[in-house]
Structure 1
Amino acid sequence: MTETPTPIVVGTTAEPRTFGPLTPAMFVRYSGASGDLNPMHYDDTLARAAGNPSVFSQGMHQSALLATFATDWLGAHNIRRFGVRFREQVWPNDVLTCTGKVTAVEPAQEGHQLVTVDLMCTRQTGGIAISGTAEFRIEPGL
């Protein structure tokens, strides 16, 4: 028996997803993959000399995790817009929880819907690392 998909309506939420605990090795790998070679993300001595308690994660690293969460939820092939606002620093051993909620559903061309979602990436402390929004063009009933 085939399960009927739950329609996406305003207020629909995604199952939260956690990432971490984050490690300095993750920051190093992201530096290499992204080309962001700012030593604040991988040289602990330099990061401390600059007044930080340690190295810290790149904002775009959290953005990538939030984008992964969102596209796993509503489909990478459906995304039309994604934007974030960096709000709080992320440190080694932080555990991030990504959440999402549908805030608008509008008709789009060819029977599709334009779905707008609010996204949040929160540290285990309750602090918001980044917040964002995304738009997806999806088939109704997915």
Structure 2
Amino acid sequence: MSTTVEVGAELPEQVFRITRADLVRYAGASGDFNPIHWNDRVATAVGLPGVIAHGMFTMALAGRAVTAWTGDPSAVVEQHVRFGRPVVVPDDDEGAEVTVRGTVGSLLDDGRVRVDLTVTTGGEKVLSLARAIVRLA
């Protein structure tokens, strides 16, 4: 990535597929074995439309899109989101698709930029007020 960016510059769109197998792997890595992330019966009993992805997993995908743009995971110095909607992950081979788009929202001090993110699944926004602060080389 060039170290010169302008407000309004767009990050390449990133599309991630999440399957139930991904949720199992994430649960093992994070220690979050809440059954709403793997059991349809429990998820629907608590009012969800089905098994949902971990919110932090969805947030991590947004961060992954930013680090792909920077080429350096250590460039991300802050990340903020509000969890707006769950990502429902069907029990099939296709799973759910999460799309991350980003735009440079402002230039900050010391070579940092704010990247405003739009994270969607099925055309619906799943993260609100999503943004990352990135220190450019």
Class of the TM-score when normalised by the shorter of the 2 chains: 0.7 to 0.9
Q: Take 1:53 and 1:25, find their aligned partners in 2: how far apart are those partners?
A: 19
Q: Aligned to 1:84, which of 72, 81, 84?
A: 81
Kindly state the Cα deviation for residue 107 of structure 1 after the two structures are TM-superposed.
Answer: 4.0
Identity %: 35
The answer to whether the 8 A contact 2:3-2:136 is kept is no
Please say if residues 24 and 56 of structure 1, whose CA atoms lie closer than 8 Å, have aligned partners that are also in contact: no
What is the one-letter code of the residue matched to 2:50?
S
TM-score after normalising by structure 1: 0.83
- Helix, strand or coil for the counterpart of 1:53? coil
2:10 equivalent to 1:13: yes
**Matches of 1:18 and 1:79 in 2, distance apart?**
20
RMSD over aligned Cα, in angstroms? 1.8
Large movers: runs of 4+ above 6 Å: none
Q: Quick one: distance in 1 between partners of 2:63 and 2:24?
A: 20
The alignment status of 1:133 with 2:131, answered yes or no, reads: yes
Which of 59, 64, 89 is residue 63 of structure 1 equivalent to?
59
Query: Is 72-81 or 8-17 further displaced after alignment?
Result: 72-81
Once the two structures are superposed, the pairs formed by residues 20-99 of structure 1 within 5 Å of their partners are 20=17, 22-74=18-70, 75-92=72-89, 93-99=95-101
Kindly tell me: are residues 115 and 49 of structure 1, through their superposed partners in 2, closer, same or farther at Cα, counting changes over 3 Å?
A: same
Secondary structure at 2:12 match in 1: coil
After superposition, the Cα gap between the structure-2 partners of 1:7 and 1:48, relative to the gap in structure 1 and judged at 3 Å, is: same
Displacement of 1:6: 7.3
Distance of 1:129 and 1:12 partners within structure 2: 22
Based on CA coordinates, which of the two structures has the bigger radius of gyration?
1
Q: Which runs of 5+ in 1 are unaligned?
A: none
